[in-house]
Amino acid sequence: MSGLFDLTGRVAVVTGANAGIGQAIAIALAGAGADIALVGRTPADETLAQIEALGRKGALISADLGTIGPVERIVSETLEKLGRLDFLINNAGIIRRADSVDFTEADWDAVIDTNLKSVFFLAQAAGRHMIRQGYGKIVNIASMLTFQGGIRVPSYTASKSGIGGLTKLLANEWSAKGVNVNAIAPGYIATANTTALRADAERNASILARIPAGRWGDASDLGGAAVFLCSRASDYVDGHILAVDGGWLAR
């Protein structure tokens, strides 16, 4: 059974890999045997060191996914530096908070461009390569707000709702071509994006009261789900949004 989860000889691209969820997923994939292309606006040196400590190869690829300009280069650099491309983890994302009556066009565009537009076009660039080789796995990072509305984050909610639909659409088009497309929906995870929520005593208490597990998630809680969705164990899993949420959606 353990062989089903062995990623030895595979190469993954992980965006937003310098910290938080992206870092945790990159390390988990390396722990299962994969080499990792670490994509981000800031160098993921700490993540790279941990990957190399596991005996795997890593490559740093500098790219700002606020535009789609780097997407083709990310694929070509991965192939050049690591020799292949099997998995794409679309993790990079940003958030802007304000009441909807005050939300600006600039904040709307910044979030949609990073969280949805670049996700599609990077999946497209990677998908073309994966379809040619007849194999690949794409994992998009969704959110609880893929299922719910949230408050004061209109562009983030729109982007993550879009991720859910996009994941299903790409699965419909590409599954028969050997490319699995799925998503992970993290629950409330203690990362930089949730600092404001955890610092608000009232909101923090209300969130914890609803989580059956009784705690905020840790980024490392996402690692096993990512390994599963990149492994042979998930070969017949397509268009699924896997919630890793401590039971939040079951409440």
pTM for this entry: 0.96
* Residue 35 backbone phi and psi in degrees, to 5: -90, 150
- CA pair distance 230, 210, nearest whole angstrom: 30
Confidence of residue 197 (pLDDT cuts 50, 70, 90): confident
Please indicate whether residue 156 is annotated as part of the active site.
yes
Tell me the pLDDT of the chain averaged across its residues. 96
Task: Indicate the domain borders of the chain.
Answer: 2-190+219-246
Q: Which of 90-104, 177-191, 192-206 has the lowest mean pLDDT?
A: 192-206
Residue type, 33: G
User: Per residue in 84-122, pLDDT tens?
Assistant: 999 999 999 999 999 999 999 999 999 999 999 999 999
**Cβ neighbours of residue 172 closer than 8 Å, sequence gap 6 or more:** 239
How many CB atoms are closer than 10 A to CB 26? 33
Q: State the burial class of residue 213 (Cβ atoms within 10 Å of its Cβ: 0-12, 13-18, 19+).
A: middle
Structure tokens at 225: 């789900």
- Which element (helix H / strand E) includes 233? none
Q: Which of 84, 15, 83 is nearest to 44 (CA)?
A: 15
Q: State the burial class of residue 225 (Cβ atoms within 10 Å of its Cβ: 0-12, 13-18, 19+).
A: buried
- CA pair distance 83, 89, nearest whole angstrom: 18
Asked if residue 66 has pLDDT above 80, the reply is: yes
Pick the CATH number of 2-190+219-246 from 1.10.246.90, 3.20.20.70, 3.30.70.2740, 3.40.50.720: 3.40.50.720
Say what the pLDDT of residue 1 is: 56
Confidence of residue 2 (pLDDT cuts 50, 70, 90): low
- CA pair distance 109, 35, nearest whole angstrom: 33
- Mean pLDDT for 1-26 is 94
Say what the pLDDT of residue 191 is: 87
Q: Where are the beta strands (DSSP E) in the chain?
A: 11-15, 35-40, 58-62, 87-90, 136-141, 179-186, 241-244
